[in-house]
Amino acid sequence: MRANAKTHFSSCLLIVFLCVVCLWPNAFAGEVKLPQPPALQDIPSLELNQPITRDLKGRESHAYKLRLAAGMFARVVVRQQGVDVFLRALDGQRSRLNGVNDPFGRVGPEAIDFVAETTGDYFVEVTARPLEMGGSYEVEYVESRVATNRDRTRVVAANYITKGNLLRGTSTAESNRAALAQYDRARTLYNQLNDPAGQAMSLQHTGRAYEALSDYKEALEHYSDALVLGGRSKTVAAKPSRSMVSAGCNSTWATSSRRF
């Protein structure tokens, strides 16, 4: 009898609960609130040749959108002013198209290129590195035109550089050797394009990887070659790249001199 009474009581409670849910279906709707993605209207738009300046500090990220027709090439430049950032270009589904991850300093430009495969909104994210104390940057949409095969090849080469930088960031001998392979793929494409700035950039990163592997002879050779090629370039990244390479040469020479 006691067991039957407990069963009867449990059944009554279940019936009452089901009645409440059916009669007041919205009673529990506000209990769990899922985070909503930022509305498109809340993301500032980039207009051609109209720079935007903002402050940024460690782990903060700003997103920008731009409207592109299918088959268009776009270039966005971020001029760092006291904060080291990395960049990502995303399509309308927020899939990554390209990235720029150059951990060389807090001052100077970083450019990101990408090609729109379909008509729609595209996004550029500017993110400060985790330990950055804070600074400012200027972001500018500087170029838009019909994409060429050279543009598409240049985007692929830039992705190889980014993959290499991500590998080198783990700071193991194995990852640095894997990064060298990525930089070599990028340099091959830049050679095909006859692009001195791209060649210099890939050589510069290669020198960094060799320096991390304590192969100072190879590092110096690649830094020196990068200096020569960087001097032939007239692109936006040429002068910063040249100064960074010079610093790398001096650092590597000093380290290798102490060692031997």
- Per-residue pLDDT 10s for the chain (260 aa) are 444 544 554 555 444 433 433 433 333 233 323 334 455 668 999 999 999 999 999 989 999 999 999 999 999 999 999 999 999 999 999 998 988 877 568 999 999 999 999 999 999 999 998 889 999 999 999 999 999 999 999 999 999 999 999 899 888 999 999 999 999 999 999 999 999 999 999 999 999 999 999 999 999 999 999 998 877 655 544 444 444 444 445 444 444 444 44
Domain ranges of the chain: 41-147, 150-254
Dihedral angle at the C-alpha atoms of 228, 161, 74, 71, nearest 10 degrees?
A: 120
Domain 150-254, CATH among 1.25.40.10, 1.10.287.3510, 3.30.200.20, 1.10.1740.10: 1.25.40.10
Residues in Cβ contact with 125 at an 8 Å cutoff, skipping those fewer than 6 apart? 61, 62, 63, 64, 87, 88, 90
Domain 41-147, CATH among 3.30.70.20, 2.60.120.380, 1.10.10.10, 3.20.20.70: 2.60.120.380
